[in-house]
Each structure stands twice: as structure tokens, then as C-alpha cells.
Chain A
Amino acid sequence: MNFILDYYNYWIVVFLMMTGFYIVISANNLVKKIVGLNVFQTSVFMLYISMGKVTGGTAPIVAEGVTQYSNPLPHVLILTAIVVGVATTAVGLALIIRIKRAYGTVEENEFDNKDDAI
């Protein structure tokens, strides 16, 4: 039981990562691929934050009477990563809008015969 509690976070992270990965490689629609990419990114955030947690600790804000703090370094790295993730998503979605305008479709299996038309 202790063994499961020790590693439960990491196994769920691996499951979410693989779910996101599966959505990216197997979805037909490009917007669904971007959603899968975001699922993957958030699972990586979960991994870092789980590593930074200390049992019995509290949020890393200096307060009276607190002796044990959780590690602030993964929080900083993930803050940066979240914002960079939304920037990437925005550019990806803008590319999808242009693809729709150029090809008329955002489904992956309809691209093969449209390329000759461009």
C-alpha cells in the first residue's frame, strides 16, 4: 500500500502523458491534436510539481510558525512552462486557421489530394 502511495502520482502522470501522446499521433482533426498536446504538457507539469512536494510542508510563502516549506524551484520552472505552452498553442491555432483557409479542411486524411491543388 505504501509502495502504491509512493508512486501513484508518477504512474498517473505516465498515463496522462501516454493519453496525450496517443491523441496527438492518432487524431484526425488538427484542433484535437493541439488539445492532445496540451494534455501532454499539463501531465509534465504534474510530474515536476509532484517531485517538489514535501509531506508536512506548506506553500513556499514565508509565514509565522512554519518550519517546512515545499520546494519553490519546480514552481518557478513550471510557471514559465505554462506561459510558453499557451504561446505555442496560440501560434498553433493560428496556423490551423490559415490551413483551413488554404486547403478548405483541417482533417488530416483529406490533405493528400489537396496538396496538388495548391
Chain B
Amino acid sequence: MAELIDLVLLAMLALTALRIIFLKDLFAIVMLFGIYSFLSALIFINLDAVDVAFTEASVGAGISTVLMLGTLALTGRKEKKSSRSSILPLFVVCVTGAALIYGTLDMPPFGHPDNPIHQHVAPRYIEESPKEVGLPNMVTSVLASYRGFDTFGETVVVFAAAIGVLSLLGIRRRKDKDAPESGLETHHVLHVVAKVIIPLVILFALYVQFHGDFGPGGGFQAGVIGAAAFILYALVFGLPKSFAVVSPKILQLMASFGVLLYASVGLYSMSKGGNFLDYNKLAADPLAGQHYGIIIIELGVGITVFAVMLSIFYAFASQAERSNIQ
């Protein structure tokens, strides 16, 4: 029965992607992309990847869709007809697809426990991580402890994206007070519901941050969910009020602070005599050291991702403000 769910969901995914090719209305394309992300999150759960499903649902169907809609507000809704013929792209795609399908026939069959991928490193992680790291969630222990360098690089990449977007767009404050307020003034139902929901979303973000050791969760998902709460506030109550609540300067400080926190854990463990990001040296007992290290770096990751996602949204939204006022 689980295979049937797999088959049907993957077929729906293929149909959604196929439909994106033929549409000309960009708003509908972005909505279909949101559906595509949600469907892939469902498929990930069916394939036992609960952490990945969490991240894909919050990042792909949440932040990516919001940013694309923000871009559409500035660039227009319809795609114009292309003057080039589509025979050559179709031919290239068909040849590449045929070659790839011929290549997949060589792959080991789906799901067998004695595939080569399950042979070398993975049994060591599965058997040793409860003893060496001590967390129930093996994905968090691999992400934060065994592969801590990769996660550090990822945090720096997210920070670099914030630098890129802020240097391209910048966050413009309004100079005059007489320009019209943004936000949804007449939507009283939205105002009330947003006031009820936003504290609960922030609470959920904190829960996901600290519960990442025991269940699906962790710094990335928590940062994105927290940013979503403040994005909702900015959409409903207007951007000037949102700047007053969380100003862009604070966000820049938070983003840098998160990366520095991660790096300082590494430097501290070097000062104690171990390697960079060696958590065993952080406390007297190696398991306790691992716990401290993982909690602190996940906090750093969560703070950076929250600040970066919110800064990127501020950059996009203040562009729309500028063109509205002009």
C-alpha cells in the first residue's frame, strides 16, 4: 500500500511540472510551484525523510513562493510569446532524457537494504551515533556533529545570499510621512486572526529549534518559520510598523552574530586543545560536550537563517513600496 501512495504522488508531481511548461500566467505558475513543493514534501515523508520534508515544506512552499510573488509584483504577470521555435530545446531535452533513462537502468533497485549506498558510512552513523553523540535524531547528529563543517559552510552561504540581495536591492526607508501606508487596512478579520496566530507561530519556531534533537526540526526550519511569522506581520500591518518592530539594522547584527557564534564554538574547542568544531572538548564529559556544541551551533544557524530570510523579504517589499509611491 505504501508503494501505491508513492506511485500516485509521483504521478501528480509529474503532471504539475508538465503543466508549468504550458502556462503563460506567471501567478498561476508560482502557485503551481507551491503545490509542487508541497507534493514533494509529502513524497519525502513517504520515503522516511521527515527532516527533509519539514525543510522543503517551510522553505520551498513558504519562503520561495513569497519571494517569487514579491518579484511578480514588480515585473508583471504575463509571459509574452516567444519568437524562437521550440524544436531545438525539445530535441536536446529528449536526447538528454533518453541518455539519463538508459543510465538509470544500471542503478541498484529502489529500496533494497543491501544497496551499495547503505554499506560503508551509513551503518557507522546509525550504530555509533547514539553512543558517540547521544541524540535520538540521527539526522541532527550527523548534520551538526559529524558533518559540522558542511553546516558551517551552508550558514555562510545563507549569509552571503543576504549580502548579495542587500547589495543589489537595499532596504529603502520612506523619507516623507505623507505617502500612503502599506498593509491591509480594511481587512479587519485578517488583523484579528494575525494577532492571534503570530505569537503561536513564534512559539512553534522556538519549539522546532530546541526540539530538533529529539524529532524532526533544527535551526534551518526554525529560522524560516520564525521569519514567516514576521513576514505575516509585515504583510498585514504594513512595512513601516514592521520596521519599527524589527529594524533592518538589528537583522544585520543578528545575521552576523549567528555566523560568529558558530565559528566561536569551533575556535573555543581549538583553544581547549582539540580540532576546529570538535565538541568533545567543550565539557569534561564528551557526550555533554556534544550536546552543548550542537545546541549552540543550532542556535547560531537559527538566528542567522531568521535574520537573513527577513532581511531578504524587507529588501523585496521595500522595492514594491518604492514603485507604488512613484
Contacts and interface: CB of A to CB of B under 8 A. Distances in A.
**Contact flag (A, B; Cβ within 8 A):** yes
Given A11-B104, A55-B111, A97 B47 contact: no
Contact of B56 (A45, A58, A93): A45
Contact of A53 (B71, B110, B138): B110
Interface in A57-101: 57-63, 68-80, 82-91, 93-98, 100
B52 A70 contact: no
A71 B110 CA distance: 13
Given A29-B79, A42-B60, A109-B83, A19 B110 contact: no
Contacts, number: 279
Contact of A97 (B74, B105, B122, B214): B74
A107 to B, nearest CB: 5
B50 A50 contact: no
A interface, size bucket: 35 or more
A90 B36 contact: no
B280 interface: no
B236 to A, nearest CB: 22
Contact of A22 (B7, B21, B125, B305): B21
Interface string B237-266: 000000000000000000000000000000
Interface string B102-139: 00110101111101011001100110001000001111
B138 A72 contact: yes
Given A16-B13, A36-B20, A87-B161, A79 B67 contact: no
Interface of B: 3, 6-7, 10-11, 13-14, 17-18, 20-21, 26, 29-30, 33, 36-37, 40, 43-44, 47-52, 55-56, 59-60, 63-64, 67-68, 70-72, 74-76, 79-84, 86, 89-90, 92-94, 96-97, 100-101, 104-105, 107, 109-113, 115, 117-118, 121-122, 125-126, 130, 136-139, 142-143, 147, 150-151, 154, 157-158, 160-161, 164-165, 168-169, 214-216, 218, 220, 305, 308, 312, 315-316, 319
Interface of A: 5-12, 14-23, 25-32, 34-36, 38-39, 42, 45-46, 49-63, 68-80, 82-91, 93-98, 100, 106-110
Given A54-B48, A74-B117, 5 more contacts: A6-B110, A60-B139, A70-B48, A83-B157, A96-B75
9 contacts: A16-B13, A16-B14, A26-B82, A27-B82, A54-B113, A60-B138, A76-B143, A97-B319, A100-B74
